[in-house]
Structure 1
């Protein structure tokens, strides 16, 4: 399928200009159909019985795990389904054996989901080191070399910033972690949906991302682990091999970490979303988004009273552009974009309050974020409408 042909699969995009993909993506018709098929034709629990419906459901659920594993180059690791990136990261934070004096290294770029779990570990005597970028939002790899020491237990970094769109040098950071014996967690919520990501090539120990940002349903996410390094967060049905009143033994694979009845239709939908992305081609999706982003970045500086945040060139960035208009609140800008041109963007702090404070932004930014169904005509409409709004000042 060609990118231009996929637009018909997204019903909302026919009458709105949706540019809030960093928050959540739209869902194509084949994904909706796959979820409906489960509920209508073979709805049953998984791994719990031998009747025909449960056998079909169990196989489809397993297939979804395999599809996701292959999509991220993680076939040799363990792919656990979660509710979202937030739950995946919290499972690592709760599941590792922390000792007083352990060190965690992260960055000021992080979404709250990749910061708050580590802040809470200070209660156990864990030290948290936060690395800050330069004014353009670029990190110096030497900063990581200095911060990641022999007593660093974990390094947790977003592959791409959900505010500035900056892509971080994952392989270089992974090499430092390996030298120092630290685990490496990658928040891939903004990278996995938009360009090819291979967990093994990156060299990370944990890769966390959300299904709802990559054409899948809400309530779906992934924790990929190189090895089963953590203790399960939840114990219960499906997680054990044997139980007595005195002890229990856990099963292996992803089942060890997925206690209770999972989001079966959601998992099947996520598997279908992966197939949809693969059919379009991740390289093609990335190139398309790059073209849209470059068009926006070239047009915004021509508008008076505009400030763009993050790198303004196309090197190491994804299709996220944050900006402000002098003396107009970001929420008002977002409201006017919707009212005047049916353009839907995000405004506020984007769950990155420490980053906003470091940028001196009390009210946050306006953020436009693209996906495969956005068009150059929509970017032009966005620029025209922003220029109209900027004249209000």
Structure 2
């Protein structure tokens, strides 16, 4: 496939630019995805034609802004197959979503000696919030182990679901390893023990169909900027009965029913959890991103990325001295690696001079780096708008970089 034969590349204007006078090869999609013209134009159009605050005005612009903003909620509810739109809370991203659950759901319920179960492969966003509330309650966060190939040891996860565990958290797709976790199986085990399960869907939503009802989890978080939408957007989905029993995390405007100095009563979910003026244009853009993904089709996206992922796996395994982290049977197109004698940061810096954008560092996954005994890796992560030719160029660029480093 030549770059021009991928019909979707033309939808992403940034892919046509050059970096250091080389064609851009963007392999940092697990960090943030590029935006299609449809999203860019939706945000631009909102500010040009509709800009007003939501839920605060009866004038035409205010009503149009509210309609566009709440219309995005409807799109996202359908996108994840929520039972009702009122189960979808808009957040600034997955991190805010998980913090909301940590402080509104977990903290009021935790007691000394309680536990929160996560996995060794979690992003810091699904570790640190739990540690913060656990420290306040005298509880602790415990990890479930993984195999050297990067797969969750499911029986060990289940074995740790003891009566002390009050909540479990798992990433749907690892941002470092690409591992696709068996969320349905984990949710079934949690449900049998009355333990709520939160799923970090940041890396899953742009690549896999997400059906929260079929998954059987209790909370699901995703971030908009990985879903080809604007930064500063995301959502928390939770079962309606859980939301109804949760106090608000943030206080302020629009999350109330009545306010007096004698006390305040709060709005029903989801607005109870959406204090203050939101990123209105961002959510309009996220709604446009969902429309775009639906037009392309997640089945199409998945098939293209599986083909690219297989090609990338073979290409990387042909590179002498390359160590690949994460070879799970069920895996997304995310590739963390090291090359003998080359620091990950040096590799990423020199690849940038070849026009290739990859990530380097701990990827907000210190415990996982400690598991593998390395301080950092380089990471190349693909999207459906990437091509085989870009992979070939990437592998050739690695060879040129190695020669430069001696």
Residue by residue over 1:58-92, the C-alpha shift from the partner in whole angstroms, topping out at 9 and shown as x without a partner, is 11111000101110111436111111111111111
Is residue 305–residue 390 contact of structure 1 (8 Å, CA) maintained in 2? no
1:220 to 233, 238, 253: 233
Instruction: Report SS of the residue matched to 1:388.
Output: helix
Q: Structure 1 unaligned runs (5+)? A: none
Instruction: Decide which of 245, 266, 283 is 1:267's aligned counterpart.
Output: 283
Q: Which runs of 4+ in 1 moved over 6 A?
A: none
1:311-330 Cα deviation digits (max 9, x unpaired):
1x6x3110101110011111
Corresponding residue for 1:256? 272
Does residue 233 of structure 1 match 2:235?
no
Q: Which residue of structure 1 aligns with residue 352 of structure 2? A: 338
Give the structure 2 partner of residue 53 of structure 1. Answer: 61
**Cα 1:3/1:50, change in 2 over 3 Å:** farther
Gaps of 5+ in 2: 18-23
Cα separation, 1, equivalents of 2:357 and 2:246: 39
CA contact (8 A) 1:290 1:319 kept: yes
Q: In the alignment, does 2:88 pair up with 1:86? A: no
- Asked whether 1:329 is paired with 2:343, we answer yes
Aligned partners of 1:3 and 1:280 also within 8 Å: no
Q: In structure 2, how many angstroms separate the alpha carbons of the residues matched to 1:267 and 1:193?
A: 16
Query: Who is 1:30 aligned against?
Result: 38
The CA deviation at 1:263 is 0.5
- Report the equivalent of 2:7: 5
CA deviation map 1:118-153 (0-9, x unaligned): 112232111221111011111222112210112321
RMSD of Structure 2 on Structure 1 (CA): 1.5
1:101 to 113, 121, 129: 113
2:216 aligned residue (184, 187, 203) = 203
1:158 aligns with 2:171: yes
1:383 equivalent in structure 2: 395
Distance 2:365 2:236 in 1: 22
Which residue number in structure 1 is paired with residue 127 of structure 2? 115
Task: Tell me the CA shift for residue 280 of structure 1.
Answer: 0.3
Give, in whole Å, the separation in 1 of the partners of 2:317 and 2:6. Answer: 28
CA distance in 2, matches of 1:166, 1:145: 18
Is the 2:145–2:157 contact (alpha carbons within 8 Å) kept by the matching residues of 1? no
Deviation (angstroms), 1:388: 2.9
Contact 1:303-1:390 at 8 Å conserved across structures: no
Give the superposition deviation at 1:196. Answer: 0.6
Q: Give the SS at the match of 1:194.
A: coil
**Shift in Å at residue 109 of structure 1?**
0.5
Give secondary structure in 2 for the equivalent of 1:5.
coil
- Secondary structure, aligned partner of 1:366: strand
Cα distance between partner residues in 2 of 1:131 and 1:119: 15
Shift of 1:3: 9.2
Counterpart contact for 2:229–2:286, Cα < 8 Å: yes
Partner of 1:373: 385
8 Å contact from structure 1 (residues 296, 383) kept in 2? no
For residues 75 and 213 of structure 1, the distance between their equivalents in structure 2, rounded to whole angstroms, comes to: 24
CA displacement at 1:389 relative to structure 2: 2.8
The alignment of Structure 1 onto Structure 2 pairs a total of residues equal to 388
Contact 2:177/2:334 (8 A) holds in 1? yes
Aligned to 1:320: 334
Q: Answer yes or no: is the 8 Å Cα contact 2:325–2:336 preserved in 1.
A: yes
Q: What residue is the counterpart of 2:16 in the other structure?
A: 14
Corresponding residue number in structure 2 for 1:137: 150
| Aligned match for 1:361, one of 368, 371, 374 | 374
TM-score normalised over the length of structure 2: 0.93
Check the 8 A contact 2:83/2:213 in 1, yes or no.
no
Tell me how far apart the structure 1 counterparts of residues 87 and 134 of structure 2 sit (CA, whole Å): 28
